[in-house]
Amino acid sequence: MIKTAVILAAGMGSRIRDRSEGRPKGFLTIEGKPLIEHSIEKLLEAGIENIYIGTGYKKEEYERLTQKYTQISCINNPDYNTSGSMFTLYQMESYVQDDFLLLESDLLYEKKALQTILSNKQPDTILASELTRSGDEVFIEVDKNQNLIKMSKKSNELNSVYAELVGISKLSLPTFKTLCKKGSQMFQSSKDLHYEDGLVQIAKEVDLYVQNVRNLVWCEVDDEKHLQRAVSLIAPLIKARESCYPVERKILLNPGPATTTDTVKHAQLVADICPREQDFGETMTFVSHALTEFVGNPNEYSTILFGGSGTAAVESILSSVVDKEAIVIVNNGAYGKRMLKIATVYGLNVLEYRSPLESAIDLTKLELLIKNAGVTISHLVIVHCETTTGLLNNIEAVGNICKKYNVAMIVDAMSSYGAIPIEMKRMNISYLAASSNKNLQGMAGVSFVIANNEQLDKIKEIKPRNLYLNLYEQYEHFVKTKQMRFTPPVQTLYALQQAILETQWEGIEKRYNRYSKSWQTLLKGIKALGLTHLIDEANHSRIITSIVEPSHKGYDFNKLHDFLYERGFTIYPGKIDNLNTFRVANIGDITYKDMECFLTLLDQYLNG
């Protein structure tokens, strides 16, 4: 059992010294506590009994910590201003007498990091993570056994990038002795060496296992950008993860609400607050700004929040932005059909463009409809991912047509936003509607409209057709007060705030890649079971799959649903007239492993 830790803290932290007020950067404060103390307290909780801190710049700051933590000993590197972290580590040779953890002083990390490396049976382990793209990363190359070959801040110096260095390692005493011996040789040329340089040198004679930990929340703090990321993203994620307990997990394969993380569920457990308080206004401001940033520049676009399902956002747009001109609504599924119904309720002048449910839109015919309409068309309305079938409409191509004819495009992005990358400006989207409970992996109850600010300014004189869903009044009120006009779903917005942080952490492209792997697993599995899906792969959203029901007499959807539900999985019936289908979504906090479990159960039902 590891009982010793070494923290390298001699550096001057010149890139962020202004923010540390001249103190070592380990004393940068996050969540009311210095970085170094976050690390010390996690180490002690993990069972570490002796902590050696390699000091240099402002060594007295670290020495004061020995009065608070009796487990600490400070070892000074007298040449800190002309040497690197390898020379600081070298100072520990006569003090460290057993296996130990090696850490950098500028890290913020969750407990999982220590738990993972301490439980690894390899005597020498380097903790690594997926690429964070946070800047100043150290990239790692490994061999076929996941042992270290090389590390570099320049990825092009490696033959391949396996992972990113976290800055936490586990070294056995024999390996440390080898490292010190190698260091004494290297110092004959220069003392200005990083400890990573020493590890790379001894990797030629010692196996240094690289443990790549998926979804590990951590960061280093080297500059102002790192600090802002630590404060706004990493610290809140760590706090949420370390303060929640496991909740019974259900796998929702219906197209929303989706399976959520425990941290999103627990985000709702907050003290009661009046939503008119400034603190809650700041929460809604964060949510609104972050939702905009996923798809556009907040200086050009704004997010307007509503309490309600996604249909509320769509209805808000249709009832608020269309005046007397005609609009085109693309109908190639149940949700295009629903928008037609909304438009009819409000008495809008609608031209329907009907397209087959299972195939791509004929762009030539759509353009001809707009060109030859004989009336002024102000808007075109389209669903991005049609939840009826899983068909992905080419909104960028449609947006180009709209730009050609000066038509504003309205996009229902309920089943695409937060997974499929969207750029509103490039795609010529004027208004986008989405909700909290699908790819954002939040709770149901918040819908929102993201609108081009210039387009919003044009609608303020349109006579309101309703009260609650009037888009401009909701927008104007929020700009002035940072409040919704009517009572918002408070706890749901706290959950959405947490879901946004987790989306920022994972990244939309990575999330879509995760979803796509589950989708590929699903398609391979249903093919093996003799089943077929409706939409060809070229036009598939990779979000939801409409599966043609099997024809054998033992099949019944309701019985299949109940069979799966009793085993923790939920599927959804089809929504296509004259064709028997059921739908399987692959969104939410699930992986391809969950899809494999579903396929096993489906096989049991069909063939058991």
Q: Which two tokens stand for residue 79?
A: 């040449």
- DSSP for 514-568, please give it: HHHHHHHHHHHHHHHTT--BSS-GGGB-SSEEEEEPP-STT--HHHHHHHHHTTT
pLDDT of residue 62: 96
Task: Judge contact between 531 and 547, C-beta under 8 A.
Answer: yes
Q: Name the average pLDDT for the chain.
A: 96
Strands 163-171 and 125-129: antiparallel
The percent helix, strand, coil of the chain (3-state, each to 5) is: 40, 20, 40
Size of the chain, expressed as the number of residues it contains: 608
pLDDT of residue 575: 82
Q: How many CB atoms lie within 10 A of CB 359?
A: 14
Decide: helix, strand or coil at residue 574: coil
pLDDT of residue 287: 98
Summarize pLDDT for 24-35 with one digit per residue, the tens. Answer: 999 999 999 999
The pLDDT confidence band at residue 12, using thresholds 50, 70 and 90, is confident
Q: Where are the beta strands (DSSP E) in 387-439?
A: 391-392, 408-412, 429-435
Q: Residue 190: phi, psi to the nearest 5?
A: -165, 145
Please give the torsion angle defined by the CA atoms of residues 96, 110, 198 and 54, in that order, rounded to the nearest 10 degrees.
-40
pLDDT of residue 473: 97
Sign of CA dihedral 373, 375, 376, 381: negative
Locate tokens 């010294």: which residue? 17
* 461 Cβ contact list (under 8 Å, min separation 6): none
Summarize pLDDT for 430-468 with one digit per residue, the tens. Answer: 999 999 999 999 999 999 999 999 999 999 999 999 999
The pLDDT confidence band at residue 356, using thresholds 50, 70 and 90, is very high
pLDDT of residue 101: 98
pLDDT of residue 327: 98
* 546 Cβ contact list (under 8 Å, min separation 6): 388, 389, 390, 533, 534, 535, 574, 576, 581, 582, 583
Taking each helix axis as running N to C, give the angle between helix 278-293 and helix 471-481, from 0 to 180 degrees, rounded to the nearest 10: 120
Distance between CA 596 and CA 605 in Å, rounded?
14
Q: Which two tokens stand for residue 121?
A: 């049976």
Distance between CA 604 and CA 258 in Å, rounded?
24
Distance between CA 120 and CA 125 in Å, rounded?
8
Angle at the Cα of 130 from the Cα atoms of 127 and 132, rounded to 5 degrees = 110
The pLDDT confidence band at residue 15, using thresholds 50, 70 and 90, is confident
H/E element, 128: strand 125-129
Nearest to 386 by CA among 333, 426, 423, 321: 333
Is pLDDT at 552 greater than 80 in this prediction? no
Decide: helix, strand or coil at residue 320: helix
**Peptide bond just before 257 cis, omega within 30 deg:** yes
pLDDT of residue 554: 81
Angle at the Cα of 313 from the Cα atoms of 375 and 273, rounded to 5 degrees = 155
Q: Residue 92: phi, psi to the nearest 5?
A: -85, -5
Mean per-residue pLDDT, 558-583: 92
| Alpha carbon 473 to its chain's center | 31
Q: How many CB atoms lie within 10 A of CB 397?
A: 15
Full-model pTM = 0.93
pLDDT of residue 331: 97
Nearest to 543 by CA among 403, 409, 387, 395: 387
Mean per-residue pLDDT, 9-35: 87
Provide long-range contacts, Cβ within 8 A and 24+ apart, for 352-358.
352/328, 353/328, 353/329, 355/330, 355/331, 356/332, 357/332, 357/333, 357/386, 357/388, 357/389, 357/391, 357/534, 357/576, 358/389, 358/391, 358/534, 358/535
- DSSP code of residue 147: B
Mean per-residue pLDDT, 282-294: 98
Adjacent-strand bridge partners of 212: 128
Is pLDDT at 590 greater than 90 in this prediction? yes
Is pLDDT at 243 greater than 90 in this prediction? yes
Distance between CA 531 and CA 260 in Å, rounded?
29
Locate tokens 């036009």: which residue? 539
Distance between CA 56 and CA 105 in Å, rounded?
12
Distance between CA 88 and CA 79 in Å, rounded?
9
The two most distant CA atoms of the chain are separated, in Å, by 89
Strands 385-386 and 391-392: antiparallel
Q: How many CB atoms lie within 10 A of CB 150?
A: 15
Locate tokens 């103390």: which residue? 37
Mean per-residue pLDDT, 104-132: 97
Distance between CA 560 and CA 562 in Å, rounded?
5
pLDDT of residue 13: 78
Summarize pLDDT for 58-116 with one digit per residue, the tens. Answer: 999 999 999 999 999 999 999 999 999 999 999 999 999 999 999 999 999 999 999 99
Is pLDDT at 18 greater than 80 in this prediction? no
Half-sphere exposure of 267 (CA within 13 A, CB side): 28
H/E element, 87: helix 85-90
The pLDDT confidence band at residue 14, using thresholds 50, 70 and 90, is confident
Q: Residue 63: phi, psi to the nearest 5?
A: -65, -30
The pLDDT confidence band at residue 19, using thresholds 50, 70 and 90, is confident
pLDDT of residue 312: 98
Decide: helix, strand or coil at residue 436: coil
pLDDT of residue 347: 96
